[in-house]
Structure formats: C-alpha cells, structure tokens
Structure 1
Amino acid sequence: MRRSLFFLSVLAASISPVYGLPSEQAVGRRDEAEKPLGPDPMSTIFNGVTVPPMKELRGPDFEESIKEDYCIIIPIAGTAKLLRQSGKRYMNFIMLTSNPLLSTTAKKAADNEKSLNSFHGYYGFHFASLNCAAYADKCKELGIVGYPRFVLYHKGKPFDTFSKENKGMQELSTFIEEKLEMIKPGSRPPGGVNLPKPGDKEGQMILPDKDKAEGNSEPEKPTKGNSKDASKGSDDSKGSKDTKTSKDPKDSKNPKGDKTPVQVPTPKKEVKEKKYNLSGSSVSLTAESFLKLVTTTQDPWFIKFYAPWCSHCQALAPVWQQMAKDMKGKLNVGEVNCEAERRLCKEARISSYPTMHFFRGGEKVQYEGLRGLGDLVNYANKATDVVGLGVQYVDAEAFKKMEETEEVIFLYFFDHATTSEDFAALDRLTLSLVGRARLVKTDSKELAERFRISTWPRLLVARDGTAKYYTALAPRDMRDFRAVLSWMQSVWLPIVPELTATNARDVMDGKYVVLGILNRQHNEDFVQNKRELKNAALEWMEKQTKLFQLERQELRDAKDLRIEEADDRNDQRALRAAKSMRITIREDDKKQVGFAWVDGIFWDRWVKTTFGVDVKNGDRVIIHDESNRRYWDSSPNGVDIMPSRTSILETLTHIAASSPKLKSKSTVGFFEHIFFTTRTFVSSHPFITLALCIVTIAIASLWAKRQIRRTRTVTGKLGGSSMGFFHLDGKEKGLFSSVGSGPSNGKVD
C-alpha cells in the first residue's frame, strides 16, 4: 500500500498539480490565508489551476536565495518583448513547481513549499530567473556571458549547465528529468513529460512508457549497486532512466546501511577575470594596431597622444612608464606618436600635447587632471573599477552607507519594464563620471518612497541629502546620451567642492562663486567654517528654488487671466493668442551662484596676488566673478565677509541682484578692467549695444561729411577759381608768387 501511494505521489510530480485534484472544489478548500490579494498578471491558468510566475532573484540576495537544496537559474537579458516570449516558454517548467502536489490520501493542498506534498519539498529543487540586464554586475561575477543558459546550483555552488542554443525545450526537459531522477532515483515517470506548448490552457503531460507501448513489460535489469533496492521495491525502480544518485541533504542518512555509490556534486571552477597589460609597459600604437586592439574591442585602454619635440611630453614620459608598470594586470596602457600617426591623431581630434584619453570600445573620455604619478594611478584605478563593475546595484541600506562617503551620487530607478536599451544608454555614462561622481541603480521600493518616485525609469542626483531630478518627458528621453550627460555636468559638483586645478573651470566659469579661504591646519575652525559654508549654500538654493517657483506661478496666473478675459469677451483671436503663450522661464536664465572653498595655505601665493588676502590673519570669504575679473570682500556694513551664513547671505543678496548694489574690486589692471566691463555689458544687453553701435556709426558719418565739406570750402578760397592747391601760370609764378608784390597790373604808386 505504501509503495502504491508513493508511486502516485511521484507520478504527480511530473505533471501539473491539477492532476492531484478530483475536481475544482479542491481549489476552493484552500485556507483563506493562502489566497492572494489579486490575480498576478504574470501567472497562467492550466487545467483550471493558477500556475504562479517564476521567482525572480535580486542580485544582492542571490547567494542567500540559493544556499540550500538545488536551484536552476535561468539568466535572462534582452528587450521587453524577448523577455515576455521567454517567460511563456519557461512557464512550461514552472508548472512542475506549483502547489499542491497531492497524493490520493491527501485531503488538502500543502501549506507551503517545504511540505513533502509539494514539488519543492519533495525534490529540494527550485526554478528561478536572474535578469542580467538589471543585474549585469552579478551576471558578470558569475561568469554568465551567453543566452540562453541554464545553470544548476547545489548549496550555492554551480553544479551543471545547459547552454545548447540550437536545442528546444524537450532537450531542456530531458536535462531536468535526469537531475530529478538523480536526486530521487525511480521517482520520475518512465515515459517522460509531455510539455504543453506556450499558451495551452489544458493537456495531458505524462508520456506513455515506451516499453509498455511496444508490448515489452520486462523491467530493466538493475545494476549491481542497486540490486538490493530493486529486490525490495520493484515498483519504485521500474522505468528508471538513470541509476546514479547524489548526496542529497534529505537522503544523507541511510538507516539500512546500503552501499550504494554516491555521486557528490563537484562545483564548477569560477570564471577568472580577464587580465590586461601583462607586460606592465606602455604599448606604442599605430593606426592599424589602434583599430585592432582599441576600437574593435571592449578592452579598456589609457592612451597618451604626444609629439617627440614637446617638452611637456618629454617630462611626462618617465611618469607614464611608471604608471603603466603600476597598472600591470589591471589596465592596458598605450601611446601614440602624432608625428608618425598624423591621420590617427586628427581623427581623435588631438589639438595639444600631451593629451590623454581613456578608451573603451568606440567611447572615450579625456583626462584633464594633474600629471603626477599619484594622480594618474588614482584616475586609472577609478576608471578600472567603473569598467569592471559597471553600474552597480544598491538597496536602501547600501545607498545609506554610500551617502556617508560620497558627496555626489547619481541614482537610476528601474523596474521590470525597463529595457536593455535603457541599461545600455546608462552604461555609456559611466566613463564620463570617472573621478567626479558615482552612478548606481536600484529598484528598491524603500528608496522609491523616500525620493517619491512614481514613474520609471527615473534619474536623480543626491547631494548632501538633497535630490535634484532629471526632467524626461518620455522614456526615450532617458536614452538621450548627450542630453543626460549635459544635465549631469551641471550638477556633478558637490554643493561646496574644494577648488583645485582640475575643477577650477567647472567651479568658476559663468557664475558668482562664494569662495571660502580656509586654513586646514586649524582643525576645529576648519570643520566649523566648512559647515557654515554648506548651510549657507543649502539655504540659498532653497530660497532661489522658492523664488523661481513663485515667479513661474505668477506668469502662469497672468496667462490664465488673459484666457479668462478673452473668453468673457468672446474674443477668439485674443483667446488663441493667450493660449499660445509659452512659459519659457528657466532657473539657468539668471546668473547662477556657486559655493566652494580653497586651501589658503596651499594656494597662498594665488590668494595673496589675486585678492590680497593672507589666511594667516584668519579665514575669509570672497564672492568672485571670474567672467568679469572682479570680486567683493566686504559686506554691506563695510566689514570683511566672514565664514558665517548670516554674513554670506546678507552680502550675496545685494550682489546677485540685476545690478549689484555693492562696489566691486578688480583682479586685473585698468585697461583690462574696461575691456571685461564692456564685454559683460555687450553680452548682457545685446539689443542696446546694437542700437548704440548704429547711433555711433550715424553720428560718425555725419561728422565725417561735415569735415569733408569744410575742407573743400577752405581749399576753394585758397586756390581761387581753380579750387586747387597749386596754380602755376609760368615758371616764376606759383601759389605764393603774388605775396609781397604790387597789384596785378604792375602799377606802383
């Protein structure tokens, strides 16, 4: 009797769970606690029973999810359409994993998947998928490079792989059946499983036994190792395809002392990461080798473009070779002689020497930092980490820890509908952010609630706890690489960055900069003054945001008022004109204000010669306008600006107005000051400048004509009727021949 019940329960494991139900009423007898709140859109119905969707694993929880039993992982990557098609095909196998798996004596469904009445509980075998588009770093860590690829894990270690791209689902079914038979010998149906086609709602899944169909009822001869098992229970071993057994945690104890050989799972070797620059030297590249090694591959390269006659290139040469030695096994390092490879350097748009670029495939980013060995090695290590890890996934806890160490973090929100094209566009941004900011991605609900994310995908930047969002009207806007990168460049600086030679242009150009000149040696004052600068920056940003929103709302109210007035008058022309008005105001329309600090001891000479400030006398604050070569160092009260939010905001309000109310000082000479002042006026008031130019030209033309007329009149009087400068009648006569002589008739009184 026990063997019959066992055979029936094993038989049910190979088919959809509905075959264990006598009628649809069995479904209705489930506990109310097991009922889902609503239908799952990814589930299917087969023979009247809901088949649950495949379990989707998350990258951070991967090891925890597969640490027990057997688990076959299906890595998936591709477009949303491909994922949907793959999901329908793989649903055939998910039918083997759903509850209940009932025997003839069971009265209700298994309470959970750990029950021996369930497929999972009986075999210790699970199905799951891993989205390699969303968790590319995890798939790369696991060595998954091709699709389709089915990896069987046992206790967290790779056990076997099925990756036959040219085979169908029947071959995959055979692969799984062999593993199930290995776990529980004699438990699988003799004829195998008849898989339904994608979209089928009902069908018979058990194939008839080939031996019985051919009239051959003779059972298979058992092997020597299984002779005792076969004699004790022929029903359990009949039709077994494979007599190999594995060391399963549930069958590890053998109370009867059988000496059956045990096959222990041997985990596969982990895929080793690819090594670069094995020689530890800089490779000299030509046009041909550049195309072969750099452009047509995805290998990372740090390349220097130089000219032999360049003195700066000659000074950089030993540093570059030492950097290449330090990056041995990590990063390819190369160099191009632009005197010998002029065409290659022209295509790379090299305009000065030396120029250093980081390449990955067809993408590149220019290195603009200092040329010291430490600076180059630091940049190369950061770039290598970005290329190796890609855009990392973070959850709420990891993001919180990252905020403690990183000043600027770009956070990309995605969901199950995010396509591979979106992730590919995201990966293109990584190189441009090397050494500037971190870029991570997440699908955490906790982070979505924190930042109030309601549409996906979405990109934001987090700086000191404040978030700023990239405005995208449609999903395709998130794939606009140039637009997204341009926005990133406008916000990738910290709220109060340190002014260095690398970021000086980004910090100073085109805006007012509240520059704190601090002494790093005074630890307590240094920390306190930096905090005051940051608080002043946050308050100013909040104030400007509110003013911008208020101004934009006033323009919208004015537009609504025009529409209402035109509607009341029934003036269709005015109504169309009012509706066609566009609110084009932007925060960038006004001159922006930035905040930064500089080490007054390290940059002592520059601070003294430019602003006349000696940091040894105490920390100071300067409001600098680099575009006009001017600065302010005193508050409206006439005292020095101190590192205090009150002093800073009070002074900044007077300076950031349309016309500054405080007198500025110049960082250049008198004539240069006139030049920069004129340039600023022209750029700020182009139409007024054009009108002044026209008026000036008109006045100059009138004056020139008047001078010409006056000159002609004077010369006409001097030259007589001839209106010339000289009048020679003979050899002795000239212009001044009559001067001092008598009358023209020659008479003399």
Structure 2
Amino acid sequence: MQPKHLLRLLALPLIPAVIAARIETPSNKDTLALPKRQLKEAAAPPDANADAGAALEGHDGKTSTDGALAGTTFNGKDVPPGIELTGDTLEESVAKGYWLVEFFSPYCSHCKHFAPTWQTLYELYYTQDPVPQTSGTGESDSDLNSFTRYYNFKFAKVDCVANGDLCAGKEVKSFPTVALFKDGEIVERKSGAKTLEAMSKWVEEILESIRPGSRPQKGLKLPKVGAHEVEKTLMPEQPPLPADKAAGRAPSATVSGKAKSTVSATRVPETPNPAGKSVSLTAETFQKLVTTTHDPWFIKFYAPWCHHCAAMAPNWQGMARQMAGKMNIGEVNCEAEKRLCKDVRVRGYPTILFFRGGERIEYDGLRGLGDLVSYANKAVAVGEPIRDVSAADFEEMEQKEEVIFLYFYDHATTTEDFAALERLVMSLIGHARLVKTNDLLLCDRFKISTWPRLLVSRDGKPTYYPALSPQSMRDYRKVLGWMQTVWLPIVPELTSSNANEIMSAGRLVVLAILSRDRPEEFLSDKREIKNAALEWIDKQTQAFQLERQELRDAKQLRIEEAEDRNDQRGLRSAKSIRINMDDIECKEVGFAWIDGVFWERWIRTTFGISVLEDNERVVMYDFENHRDFAAGRFESAED
C-alpha cells in the first residue's frame, strides 16, 4: 500500500493573602501566637544588646571569635558551617530534595540545650560515605559518594527571632521544632529537644525510605554529643608476637592455610558474574553487594509458588550464563525475605529490577531468553560515561538505531548540567540511546544556537525539548517526562511492554500486520508504512503551523483595528491575547506494526483477521471508541 492511499484514510479535522502572626525581636510590643511559657523563653534577656555572634555562639557552640560561623572537623573530615535559611532563601532552597530544618530561637533554653545534639547529628551524617571503598572521598557535596548527593538530603536551621514571619507561616508554635521538607512541602515535624539516639533513628528511617536497603539494620554507631569523632571499636587483645617478629626479623613462611583462605574468600572479584549464575540474595548480602556499591545488578524477585516465576526460571538461568563476565545477576525469594521485598515495594511476582547503587528501574518487557539478554546487554553500558560523538559517528548510529537522544553542550556547560544528564541514562535502558556532542557540523545540521540543548532524532527527524532555561534542563522529572513522549520510534513494533503507550486513549492507531516469515516483503511493507507515517507527520506539522499563523494574523488584525479607532482599551485587550495551541483539539494519529504470526490469535480475536489467510493487512484502531477499520491489504495497494 502506497503512502498516499493510507493518507486518504486519515482525513481527520485538525482543530486571598494569609496574614501570619509576626515573631518580632524582643521588645515591649511582642505579639506572639505562642503560649506564655514559650513566649517568655523566646524573649531577650536583660542584656538584649548582645550581638548576633554571641547569640549564635550560645546556640551551636561553633562560632569563630569574630562572630562568623566556622567550619568544624569530624572523623578527620572538614565539615562546612551549617546552612542558615531566611525568609528570602528557604522556599527556593527546599524546593527540591529532602531538607531537615531546625526552627529555633537563640534565646530559648531548650534550643541551647539541643544545639550540640543538632550539630553532632549534622556532622555525623555529613561525613558519612554512603558507598564504602570507592574512589570518592565524600568530603564535598559535588562528590558522587557524598552523603548530600547520594541521598539528596541536607540539614539547615532557621532563626525564628530574625525570621518571625517565616516561622509563623510554617506554623512553628514551639522551640525547637525540626521539620522534614520533601520537594518544598513539610511532610513531618517533631517538637522539643530530642536525644541524639532519637534523632538518628528518625533520620535512618527517612534515608531508608529514600533508598531502600541502603542503611544498616542496627543503625549507626553514635558518638558522644559534642565529640569530634566516633569512638573506634576496641579490638581484643592480640596474643604475644612470635620471637622472630618481636626481634624485628622477617616472619616465617609457616602461615596457616586457613588464614589464607579467609583473606581470599573476602576479596570481591573484579569481574562481574564470573560463574555465570544467578546469585541468591538475602537482606544482608543485598545491602552489601547491591545498594552499597555502584555495580550494576539485574535481579528478579519471586515466590516459590508462583507459576509465572517457575516458567521464567530456565530463561533467567540461561540469561545469567550468557551474561557471565558482563553483569551481576541475582534473585530474591520473597517468601524468605519478606522485609526486603516490602522495602523494595514488590507488588507482584515475578518483579524484575535493574539496580545500580541506590537507583533502580523496573523491567517490564517480555520474559523470553532473547528479550532478557537483549535488555541486559543494553544495561551493561550504564556504568560507562555518556558517549561523545562526532557528526560521522552520529550518522553511523542513525543507520542502526531508530531513536537517539542527542545533547548539545559547549565550553560553558557546567558540571551540574552533566550530572543531571547522567541521571537519565538508567531510565532510557531498552528504549533509546543517549549521546552528547559539541560538534559544529551537528550544530549546523540541527540549527542549534543555544547551549545546552536536547533533541531526539527518530529516523533522522528531530524533535526538540521545548524548555531552554538551565533550571528546566536540569529538571530530571520534566526532561524524563518529555523523553517518554518521544522515545518510541516513528513506527514502533507493538509488543506487550509498549501496548499501553501505543494504544492509548484518544489516539487513532494505524496498525500494520506484518510477517517476518517473508523477509523481502516484510522490509518493503515496513518501509511503506514508515514513509506514510513520515508524510502524515509532515502534513500535521504544516497544518499546525498554518493554524498558528492564522491565529497570529487574527490577533494582529484586532490590534490594527484598535489602533485605527484609537481605542486604547481595545488595544490592550488585543495585545493581551495569548495564542495557546494546546487548546486546539485534534485527533492524535499513531503508527505501529505487529508480528502477525507471533500475535496471530490476538489479532484474530480482536480484529477478526486471519493472518494465515489474509496476508499482510493495515488496520486503523480507534482505542477511545473501541472501533477498528480494515484499511486494506498491502498486496492490493493499487486497487
């Protein structure tokens, strides 16, 4: 069937402020919405002229001699001064990630008592290395292995005497109050001075919810409040040294074989999955091997009584053998490890997840051996840096890949931009490739004039990420949401894993029923349906641009008419008209093809078409109204 015949079948129309109580600095006109006892504690002492440095010093005990906050040292690592938020900075700062914020008064006795506990809590967690034995030092927020970056979690304080309106707006009714912010919203709060043990337990629960399985089951070993390090566990007394060692001579060669085997057994092999087997994981080994390392793991969560799990088991073991030396493969028995499966949020069996460090993504594809191996091979590249391509490299990739995301950068692109880009890699596994470039030839080809810029190339046809601001380019959820709308090929193959995306409500789907049993006809028919899709997209684009231009012309006409009448009110009204193409209703049309032999039974029951008798067919399916229209056969395209 020629594209023009298909296009004839697609003749679709394209058409009050809240006034908060102020918490003033101590004076005779205090009007606090607080109990009298708390009000008294918040009031200034007789020497209210004491400078701010003295007040802060009384709060945290970490102030330098000139009144400025100074950094400290904990466990041998430098700790910067705690973040102090104000009414001007709080909303913007806590808008993303997790923030544990203490609201205090520098004149409150309970706050002064709690201050050393808060400082020790901050120092303890700031110096944590979430992933041990990595190259990162964890001493900088930009370090991949820093506590702050790993959990996207920060500590901060707010002085409620200096920021009374802010604290009143956050409904702070007693001091101290510690609030947990998640993406700008308070999700939990605790009032009153707490012990270090109670605060650490709370923080551990929060961190475990952020990255399940990443925290030790018994919690952290806590220091004494005000200490500068965690006490080392005392080692048992060692037996007396042999005479040769005591004399400084070289030790004898009679080292026990048992000691040798112990050392070699605890050494982690550098090659992943050396035996080509699926490793049975427990809660303890899961934390040790998966969540506290950056090694990629492909893991199935199953139940022994699950029939689907039993059917998949041979393919899973076969995939593990083929991934020997490439990727770690594991499995978790959810009957034996119920707590672990609950933390991972397993809701059905089998559930297959790909992990790398604390990040994960669910595999929702087919469970055949080839499907599992294909996905695992694509996932292997996750640990590698995003490939930097030239114009020639990109053209070569276009011959093999149907969908490629291309990120343009220049000398001014920051580390924050690249870090945001790296976060997207895992979500694209099994969908599309992501590469980056600063090649001028590619910039000319795709008419790039601002950096950084992101586009997707589908069969050589570019679609651009609409947002341009640095904040939008670093917004992981916003960028990923856009990627999910364009990561399907122009004409994707309809499978069980992408059926919901393709056959979504509100779409008219042109579905080509093809057969791989006839290779030459298969390639020819697939090329025809793709050409029809590209031609339809071009016509849609032209219609969209034409309608937008008509709306712009109508707006300009109203402006000119108002100017001719000297109608200032009408002129302002005309200029305020916003052209919003999102309001234009038009039926979305998608294209796809399906393997008629593999899905022969589903096609027969859904569309009443026998692939074995009718050969290749084209069907238009209106998902919203559950109607299908036989568009014709490929072999009768000229009729």
- Quickly say closer, same or farther: Cα 1:437–1:588, change in 2 above 3 A: farther
Selected match of 1:319 from 315, 319, 333: 315
1:399 counterpart residue number: 394
CA distance in 2, matches of 1:517, 1:319: 28
Selected match of 1:450 from 445, 453, 464: 445
Selected match of 1:559 from 555, 558, 575: 555
Q: Equivalent residue of 1:314, what SS?
A: helix
The aligned length equals 374
- Quickly say closer, same or farther: Cα 1:618–1:331, change in 2 above 3 A: closer
Asked if 1:629 is matched to 2:626, the reply is yes
Selected match of 1:463 from 458, 464, 467: 458
Asked if 1:605 is matched to 2:606, the reply is no
2:610 counterpart residue number: 614
Which AA in structure 1 matches 2:353?
H
Asked if 1:351 is matched to 2:351, the reply is no
Q: Equivalent residue of 2:348, what SS?
A: coil
Which AA in structure 2 matches 1:483?
K
Contact 1:532 1:645 in 2 (8 A): no
CA distance in 1, matches of 2:382, 2:584: 33
CA distance in 1, matches of 2:598, 2:560: 62
TM-score by length of 1: 0.47
What is the deviation of 1:316?
A: 2.6
Asked if 1:502 is matched to 2:497, the reply is yes
2:468 counterpart residue number: 473
- Quickly say closer, same or farther: Cα 1:567–1:420, change in 2 above 3 A: same
Matches within 5 A, 1:100-115: none
- Quickly say closer, same or farther: Cα 1:530–1:373, change in 2 above 3 A: closer
Q: Equivalent residue of 1:322, what SS?
A: helix
Which AA in structure 2 matches 1:367?
Y
CA distance in 1, matches of 2:409, 2:328: 33
CA distance in 1, matches of 2:337, 2:545: 54
Contact 2:279 2:331 in 1 (8 A): yes
Q: Equivalent residue of 1:334, what SS?
A: strand
Q: Deviations over 1:153-174 (max 9, x none)?
A: xxxxxxxxxxxxxxxxxxxxxx
Contact 1:532 1:643 in 2 (8 A): no
Which AA in structure 1 matches 2:618?
V
TM-score by length of 2: 0.54
Asked if 1:421 is matched to 2:397, the reply is no
Q: Deviations over 1:595-634 (max 9, x none)?
A: 1122223322222222222333332211012333211115
- Quickly say closer, same or farther: Cα 1:146–1:335, change in 2 above 3 A: closer
What is the deviation of 1:433?
A: 1.5
Q: Equivalent residue of 2:581, what SS?
A: coil
Matches within 5 A, 1:562-601: 562-586=558-582, 589-601=585-597
CA distance in 2, matches of 1:460, 1:327: 32
Contact 1:548 1:587 in 2 (8 A): no
Q: Equivalent residue of 2:324, what SS?
A: coil
RMSD: 2.8
Contact 1:408 1:461 in 2 (8 A): yes
What is the deviation of 1:451?
A: 0.9
- Quickly say closer, same or farther: Cα 1:452–1:643, change in 2 above 3 A: farther
- Quickly say closer, same or farther: Cα 1:643–1:540, change in 2 above 3 A: farther
Which AA in structure 1 matches 2:497?
T
2:62 counterpart residue number: none
- Segments of structure 1 that go 5 or more residues without pairing to the other structure are 1-143, 148-272, 635-639, 648-749
Which AA in structure 2 matches 1:425?
A
What is the deviation of 1:478?
A: 1.2
Which AA in structure 1 matches 2:421?
L
1:376 counterpart residue number: 372
CA distance in 2, matches of 1:145, 1:457: 29
Contact 2:615 2:633 in 1 (8 A): no
Q: Equivalent residue of 1:393, what SS?
A: coil
2:259 counterpart residue number: none
What is the deviation of 1:375?
A: 1.8
- Quickly say closer, same or farther: Cα 1:443–1:274, change in 2 above 3 A: farther
Contact 1:390 1:430 in 2 (8 A): no
Selected match of 1:539 from 528, 531, 535: 535
Asked if 1:438 is matched to 2:433, the reply is yes
Contact 1:532 1:644 in 2 (8 A): no
Contact 1:529 1:643 in 2 (8 A): no
- Quickly say closer, same or farther: Cα 1:476–1:513, change in 2 above 3 A: same
1:482 counterpart residue number: 477
CA distance in 2, matches of 1:499, 1:546: 28
CA distance in 2, matches of 1:576, 1:286: 68
Selected match of 2:296 from 274, 296, 300: 300
- Segments of structure 2 that go 5 or more residues without pairing to the other structure are 1-133, 138-268
Contact 1:463 1:494 in 2 (8 A): yes
Which AA in structure 2 matches 1:441?
K
What is the deviation of 1:323?
A: 2.6
CA distance in 2, matches of 1:641, 1:287: 56
Q: Deviations over 1:543-582 (max 9, x none)?
A: 0011111112222222333334444445444444333332
Which AA in structure 1 matches 2:474?
R
- Quickly say closer, same or farther: Cα 1:456–1:644, change in 2 above 3 A: farther
Q: Equivalent residue of 2:463, what SS?
A: strand
Contact 2:525 2:634 in 1 (8 A): no
- Quickly say closer, same or farther: Cα 1:341–1:589, change in 2 above 3 A: farther
1:88 counterpart residue number: none
Asked if 1:521 is matched to 2:493, the reply is no
Matches within 5 A, 1:235-254: none
What is the deviation of 1:641?
A: 5.7
What is the deviation of 1:642?
A: 4.3
What is the deviation of 1:326?
A: 2.9
Contact 1:533 1:645 in 2 (8 A): no
CA distance in 2, matches of 1:330, 1:533: 38
CA distance in 2, matches of 1:530, 1:282: 38
- Quickly say closer, same or farther: Cα 1:551–1:643, change in 2 above 3 A: farther
Q: Comparing both chains, which one has the higher relative contact order based on Cα–Cα distances under 8 Å and sequence gaps of 6 or more?
A: 2
Q: Equivalent residue of 1:628, what SS?
A: coil
Asked if 1:411 is matched to 2:406, the reply is yes
Q: Deviations over 1:242-264 (max 9, x none)?
A: xxxxxxxxxxxxxxxxxxxxxxx
CA distance in 1, matches of 2:318, 2:525: 39
- Quickly say closer, same or farther: Cα 1:579–1:605, change in 2 above 3 A: same
CA distance in 2, matches of 1:318, 1:617: 36
Matches within 5 A, 1:675-694: none
1:266 counterpart residue number: none
Which AA in structure 2 matches 1:535?
N
- Quickly say closer, same or farther: Cα 1:414–1:645, change in 2 above 3 A: farther
| Bigger mean CA offset, 618-627 vs 480-489 | 618-627
CA distance in 1, matches of 2:413, 2:399: 29
